[in-house]
Amino acid sequence: MNNVKKNIFFVAALICTTTVVGQTKPELKDIITGTYRPKSVSQFRSMTDGEHYTASDDKNKMIIKYSYKTGKPVDTLFNVSTARECPFASFDGYELSPDETRLLIYTDQEMVYRRSFKAKYYTVDTRRNLVKPLSDDKQQAALFSPNGRMVAFVRDNNIYLKKLDYNTESAITTDGKKNEIINGVPDWVYEEEFSMSDAMAWAPDNSSLAYIKFNEADVKEYPMQMYRGLNPSYDDNTLYPGTFSYKYPVAGEVNSKVSVHSFDIDNMTNRKLNVQVDEQDYIPRVRFTTDPEKLAVISFNRWQNASKLHFVNPKSGVSKVILQDKNDSYINTDNMDLINFFEDGFTFASEKSGYRHLYFHNMNGLQVRQLTNGNWDVTDFYGYDPKSKSVYIQAAAESPLVRDVYRVDAKGNMIKLSQKQGTNKAHFSNNFKYFQNYYSSAGTPLEVELYDSKGVKVRALENNTELKQKLSGMDMPKKEFMQFNTSLGTQLNAYIMKPADFDPTKKYPVLMTQYSGPGSQSVLNRWEMSWLHYLASNGYIVFCVDGRGTGARGAAFERETYRNLGIKESIDQIEGAKYLKSLSFVDPARIAIWGWSFGGYNTLMSMTGSDEFAVGIAVAPVTDWRFYDTIYTERYMRRPQDNDEGYNKTSAVKRAKNLKGNLLIITGSADDNVHPQNTYEFTEELVQNNIDFDMHVYTNRNHFITGGNTQYHIYNKMYNYLKKNL
């Protein structure tokens, strides 16, 4: 296997070094505004039979039923032009009921945080073609019952039940209150760090609804001033700023108290379930098994190095711990979404072997067999077929740089279903007879194709031919994948992008780009077209290193940074700069580094830990982990009271006096994720140490710093800063 991995690694490098010389260079405005963005195809929503799927048309006016086999429409489930009493001209999204007789359609979508949103929901009985509003105002997290005859939803922190047959609405909870009690949807930190947008689950026989209650009354509020601004604009704040205040627990502080409840549909009664957890434990998932008397509840301890799978009876409230997983450092919390329940057992993900693999357990929690095995990581789980006992996965089996789609049969044999080398991601039909494959590589824009269960191509869905033709007439820099050894003996993956007209006799300035956060990857054989390509097209070399702590290289490599975030990651960027200086075509006096979010933090750590960088750009950076949220920070650092030395060593604020090089630091004034406080405290240290720097604040912008002309402005600003200082 090692030889195979090595050969594929260098084939990928060879492919991506081929230079196509054209006549024009990409313009920054075109890159930022999406001129070179590949077209895609929405994931098909498989129907129960696995032979058909639904999709909306490109104008979101119709919902159409298609045949997987032919790709042709066989029915129109909804059309705004013909639906009875339809009050909207188009929609934002939809859900098909499990029994496939009704639709939930939503419009006027309004984002709450990163994943959650409110919207006006409507129900459509496809047999009657009649549109009805779900309720008054806007709703959140609307969820069909399995029989499609009821919808649970959240409004103003309370859960409501709509019985569609009787057109009745009743409140399941009444204690919801802003910044105090939340029912059925997560608080800010759960949503951000556990990737949640709802916290409810229906029993498979429609008898009960389980939900999580968040009591955030004791969590401290974080206020942010909001100004009039533009894109977004708040006219109420024209003369005096307004305030947006929400609950945000920083590392070591109080979290929401969470509890699990069930609502009996027939008796209309609530019951608090007796889940065996400590007060500080997390409960990020509730999910029913195939048995309505077994609600699965997943919990983590505060340090997130131990997880439990509980089975709870929603009627009696009695619970039992079925399975536990432990780790000396932390458990990757995305493992919990690889747990899926079937009649004969459930799949479970763990890194107990040193790599993330899948296991099958019976309903008593006993391991029946290991489903995947090897010195590589399962990177996604697509499903388990109880008939063939096969699992469908995405894995980095051949190299950390690639992703392939596999079927693993009952004997453990791996059959690769994806055909092209690069990054492949699949979406399967319910019967696993078909799958959409999303493929790209460093040299190939996105291609979406439909395959059958044997990996045979059925038809192309989107090849981005027009974009490929456009790119073929341009002088485009290409990625060259490589490895280098640090002075400490660590072998790191990297890529380099040279200008298309590269002259090895010249000396070039370099921008090092990185993210570097735990489990992340920037060095991956996939398509992207960003401002980095613009830089490389205009005389810069771009270099990227995935240092220690990054993903797809096993648990030991990822956890090297545990309790000391930013130390080894910045050392590896410094090692990357030293490696660059050994290359004859690099100007050793003109090396810059940049990053966003964790990448911005690691930029500051690198610049305060060495004098290797002439310029640095840090966007929305964390500057001290004491300022960041509990769930993310404590997973990798534990609490400040458990690891005071680690927090001190990893504080960019405490290292600010050691800053070397020209720094541009950027933040959004309304960043609810990495608060501008991080930037302000760091720069205040620079001021008091008489260190010059440049700073830019974007009004009312969140962590993504978007809106109107903002994206072009920020990237153009960074490019001009490099031109001036590098």
Considering the candidates 357, 361, 533, 703, report the single residue annotated as catalytic.
Answer: 703
Q: What is the pLDDT of residue 14?
A: 35
Q: What is the pLDDT of residue 626?
A: 98
Q: What is the pLDDT of residue 24?
A: 87
Whether cis (ω within 30° of 0) applies to the bond prior to 232 is yes
Q: How far is the C-alpha of 159 from the C-alpha of 167, rounded, in Å?
A: 16
Q: How far is the C-alpha of 173 from the C-alpha of 632, rounded, in Å?
A: 30
Q: What is the pLDDT of residue 313?
A: 98
Considering the candidates 390, 546, 671, 675, report the single residue annotated as catalytic.
Answer: 671
Q: What is the pLDDT of residue 453?
A: 93
Short-list 366, 343, 241, 339, CA closest to 291: 343
Instruction: Reply yes or no on whether 671 is catalytic.
Output: yes
Instruction: Reply yes or no on whether 713 is catalytic.
Output: no
Half-sphere exposure of 87 (CA within 13 A, CB side): 12
Q: What is the pLDDT of residue 297?
A: 98
- Hey, how many other C-beta atoms are within 10 angstroms of the C-beta on 176? 20
Q: What is the pLDDT of residue 475?
A: 85
Helix (DSSP H) and strand (DSSP E) numbers for the chain: 13, 43
Q: What is the pLDDT of residue 74?
A: 97
Q: What is the pLDDT of residue 23?
A: 59
Short-list 549, 497, 485, 540, CA closest to 520: 549
Q: Tokens at residue 713, please?
A: 């402005």
User: What are the tens digits of pLDDT across the range 302-333?
Assistant: 999 999 999 999 999 999 999 999 999 999 99
User: Which residue type occupies 694?
Assistant: D
Instruction: Reply yes or no on whether 597 is catalytic.
Output: yes
- Contact between 160 and 150 under an 8 Å Cβ cutoff? The reply is no
Q: How far is the C-alpha of 474 from the C-alpha of 16, rounded, in Å?
A: 16
Short-list 470, 419, 474, 473, CA closest to 445: 470
Pairing relation of β-strands 357-361 and 367-370? antiparallel
User: What are the tens digits of pLDDT across the range 371-403?
Assistant: 999 999 999 999 999 999 999 999 999 999 999
Pairing relation of β-strands 168-171 and 282-288? unpaired
Strands (E), 620-692: 662-668
- Hey, how many other C-beta atoms are within 10 angstroms of the C-beta on 81? 8
Q: What is the pLDDT of residue 4?
A: 32
Provide φ and ψ at 474, rounded to 5°.
-125, 155
- Contact between 664 and 227 under an 8 Å Cβ cutoff? The reply is no
Considering the candidates 516, 597, 606, 610, report the single residue annotated as catalytic.
Answer: 597
- Contact between 500 and 21 under an 8 Å Cβ cutoff? The reply is yes
Sign of the alpha-carbon dihedral angle for 364, 329, 679, 589: negative
* Domains along the sequence of the chain with CATH: 477-725 (3.40.50.1820)
3-state SS of the chain: helix, strand, coil percent to 5? 20, 35, 45
Sign of the alpha-carbon dihedral angle for 490, 491, 495, 501: positive
Q: What is the pLDDT of residue 473?
A: 86
Q: What is the pLDDT of residue 22?
A: 42
The secondary element (H helix, E strand) that includes residue 29 is helix 28-33
Short-list 35, 27, 76, CA closest to 55: 76
Please tell me the pTM assigned to this model: 0.95
Residue ranges in the chain modelled with pLDDT below 50: 1-22
Residue 467's SS3 state is helix
